[in-house]
Amino acid sequence: MAQHSTHPGGASRVRRRALLGTAVLAVLVALAGLAAYLTREGRSPSDPASPPPSSPTASSSTASSSTAAPSGPHTRPRALPVPPKTHDPITYGKAAAAALWSYDTRAYAQPELRKALRGWLTTESKYADPASVDQAVPSAVLWKEMAANKQVATAKINEGHFPHAFTQALQDDPGAITQAYVYAVTVSGKQSIRWKGSAAGGAESRSTTLAVQCRPNHSCALVGVMPSVAP
């Protein structure tokens, strides 16, 4: 749990963490009183806020741009992640997960990556949870050790979808999305890691649930990373 802070702005950070925690509860248990964070199904295709159905291959072009095959010791350094311009929360969620699971210690410093990932966040401070994004970045001490080994991580996204509890809550209250337009998106994939002198590196399956804001007529933005994965 978040600790109380005596620094200016500490209380606001605690409130933002609590706000995202409220969103998590809304997604997982579909509480009607937290409907501002719930999304809706059944809109017509012409509705600009309606996300298209998801599949393992749907909207893969955006996510694939940041999910190349694992980098070897002679591959070109990777650029810092840049958020896509899209109105589809699943497309955005997949791209955000790929960005969170990827890094290149040869190309930039840890503070640069953290700043770049914060650039994915919504500008609405009421909803943005930068602390949850910072936690996805290796610590400065660990980054120094990884940089000494020229460690690189890449991500391959398998699929993204709206969690079941999220869509069920939406069916219960179809108009709930119209306050915050915050969607829950669960993404699964694989993170591959290589380092100096490694022949094959290592890989592991990854999954995460993200909160993504997609207001009508605005590109999507990240709200935060949820502390648990919603199926």
Residue 125: pLDDT over 50? yes
Asked whether the CA dihedral 41, 44, 45, 48 is positive or negative, the reply is negative
Q: What is the pLDDT of residue 202?
A: 85
Conformational region of residue 111, where left means phi above 0, alpha means psi within -120 to 50, and beta covers everything else: alpha
Give the pLDDT band (50/70/90) at residue 31. Answer: very low
Instruction: Report the alpha-carbon distance of residue 108 to residue 56 in Å, rounded.
Output: 31
Instruction: Report the alpha-carbon distance of residue 231 to residue 225 in Å, rounded.
Output: 15
Q: What is the number of alpha carbons within 13 Å of residue 81 lying toward its C-beta?
A: 35
Give the pLDDT band (50/70/90) at residue 58. Answer: very low
Give the pLDDT band (50/70/90) at residue 171. Answer: confident
Nearest-CA neighbor of 90 among 218, 220, 217, 189?
220
Q: What is the pLDDT of residue 198?
A: 73
Q: What is the pLDDT of residue 30?
A: 36
Tell me the DSSP string of 31-46: -GGGGGG-------TT
Q: What is the pLDDT of residue 64?
A: 36
Edge-first strand order for the sheet with 152-161 is 103-104, 152-161, 182-194, 202-213, 221-225
Residue 2: pLDDT over 60? no
Residue 183: pLDDT over 70? yes
Spell out the alpha helix ranges (H) of the chain. Answer: 10-29, 60-64, 89-100, 110-118, 130-134, 140-148, 164-172
Give the pLDDT band (50/70/90) at residue 87. Answer: very high
**Of 179 and 67, more confident:** 179
**Of 75 and 201, more confident:** 201
Residue 155: strand pairing partners = 191
Nearest-CA neighbor of 136 among 82, 198, 209, 28?
209
Q: What is the pLDDT of residue 200?
A: 65
Give the pLDDT band (50/70/90) at residue 44. Answer: very low
Backbone phi, then psi, for 44, in 5-degree steps? -75, 155
Q: Which segment of 3-17, 102-116, 172-186, 210-224 scores lowest on mean pLDDT?
A: 3-17
User: What is residue 154's three-state secondary structure?
Assistant: strand
Instruction: Report the alpha-carbon distance of residue 16 to residue 107 in Å, rounded.
Output: 32
| Stated pTM of the model | 0.70
User: What is residue 103's three-state secondary structure?
Assistant: strand
> Using the 8-state DSSP alphabet, how is residue 75 labeled?
S
70-79, 84-93, 175-184 — most confident range: 84-93
Residue 50: pLDDT over 90? no
